[in-house]
Amino acid sequence: MAAVILEARGLTRHFGGLKAVDRVDFDLAAGEIHALIGPNGAGKTTFVSLLSGRIEAGAGRILFEGRDITRLPAHARVRRGIAYTFQITQIYAALSVYDNVALAAQSHGSHPLKPAAMEALDRVGLTDRAGQIAGTLSYGHQRLLEVAMGLALKPRLLILDEPTQGLSQGEIEVFNGIVQSVVPAATVLLIEHNMDVVMELAQRITVLNFGEVLATGTPAEIRANPAVQAAYLGA
């Protein structure tokens, strides 16, 4: 197995009596595409929000490239190489497509900005829309723009939260190609409900249920797991 780029131990976050994430142990191998799946309310978005620093852990610790980042704020984790694209599209609607990506490239410290921004747009197929106001893009193109913004950060870990939601089949095929092009230079953690996408892209899958890890394994192992079938995939 490849070196571990990120590990969580005992990661916990409760909201009142709700155990959103409860004592989760998790390893992410460098250069892999790792999918995180589970029923609605399983704790997936809370878990990746803990990894990215958007919310604080109640207990446990997170190591990234061997360094403890448990208490680092989100912007500091971005500087370390963790990019997180959100479940709900987060773009600057009044700015051009190019400016959205250029701002991401600037925050990474890329110079000159234009080649870095245009490279990211080219990778998601939005070069011809660089001058368009981002808020006028279709929903699917806005999702691809968000991925371009993540790529412009030159991440070592790219976390994608429900990236294919609202995409057409053609856009999903483009997205799959983008993700496959990112590795092994970067590592991808994919939170996704579309099981066709998961099974095509992921080398390993972790299943969350009620805030706990139900199973981790290859796609074949996850498909064959009776507990996963009962909780999520169906018999």
Domain boundary among 137, 154, 171: 154
Top-confidence residue, 110 or 107: 107
92 in the same domain as 32: no
Give the residue ranges of DSSP H helices in 30-168. Answer: 44-52, 74-80, 97-108, 113-124, 139-152
Distances (CA, A) of 113 to 79, 96, 105, 128, 149: 17, 15, 6, 18, 13
Domain boundary among 134, 154, 174: 154
172 in the same domain as 60: yes
- Determine the average pLDDT of the residues in 84-112: 83
pLDDT exceeds 70 at position 234: no
> According to the model, what pLDDT value does residue 139 have?
87
**How confident is the model over 58-83, as pLDDT tens digits?**
999 999 999 999 999 998 998 899 99
**How confident is the model over 13-33, as pLDDT tens digits?**
999 888 999 999 999 999 999
36 in the same domain as 10: yes
- At 235, the pLDDT band (50, 70, 90 cuts) reads very low
> According to the model, what pLDDT value does residue 90 have?
79
Residue 97: domain span = 88-154
Residues of the chain with pLDDT > 90: what percent?
65
> According to the model, what pLDDT value does residue 87 have?
53
Give me the amino acid identity at 165: Q
**How confident is the model over 178-202, as pLDDT tens digits?**
999 989 989 999 999 899 999 999 9
